[in-house]
Structure 1
């Protein structure tokens, strides 16, 4: 469940007023209705206004009942992975040690003879081998594929997200087995800053998190589909 309290994140410090908060709430609801159901978009199930208990200090606030992301956000997963890497033992030195001097003197002559015989044989270069991808690289590709599928659906509906970042990419499953099989599902969420693009595929107005905002939107406030990528 997402409750709009007016508190800003992502570099903002000034809280939103009630009017702005309600406008963003209705705007996000409309975006979810336009997008419908998609496996890489966080689904919306219900929304409305609720009078929260006095002890919470929320009063009457809008809420959205969204699809449960059991794995949290991509930002949280990156933090957890970084902590595991820092706590891991240092890798063992697998480099071959240089033989002692007496070894070279004793077997140096045999080595020279073998090399000369090898030079007589025709050289056949082995076919080039592509480097094997590490697990981290495979996971990165999996995240990008899921995010691009979600963005493709947004852009086909004429919507620019304007705030794509690890905090807004949600992981559907908490089970880590999907990492081994590369079958994890990532979903784009937080459509409060999304806008409909005009006929030229652009939108105007400053928005987004400064660290993830494209340069063209900072200077003139112009957004396009490319800004999400």
Structure 2
């Protein structure tokens, strides 16, 4: 069944702004309907079974990857032979799981002609490989369907205006999809080593005295915009069924 997913904090803030401090199921239903009408929210079809499976696989791969990092940190912090042996066994198990999950993800992408096209598009930017492709397809299916401004805000890489009258406040990024943002921070730094335009963009910002964090965000945002444009062209060139 199609539904719309929105930030529950926005819905509650809307109710309070309308002067409704009470909270019951009936009041919530009425406020949610009013909120959806005011925001002109459009129902979104649920993900296909294949999309849901890919999301589950990439989520599990993230978990296993984090577990491997934790176990390696524990290994470096101990000298006890028994603990080292058990940590080694745990690491071997997680390594096998990561390999198996990666293989299932690759097979899932290879089995879908649209995902294969998306995979080629993402890999056309040097420095972006298997996991980046999987995470983008699984966790950012809107890539190539939204405007550059919208996709940047969705991921949480858009500087939010904070101006009032003659005051121009500092613009910060907030919200968005943290998992994708983290990936873009990592791969943008890798991609700029192969892509002269990204390297030049970064160097100009640094030369202008921009803080390193600002440069990091700007580089990730530029990479996302480039990916969005490429994916838009790809979507226009193939017939999509979802």
User: Normalising by structure 2, what TM-score?
Assistant: 0.30
User: Relative contact order (C-alpha < 8 Å, sep 6+): which is higher?
Assistant: 1
User: Normalising by structure 1, what TM-score?
Assistant: 0.31
More helix by share: 2
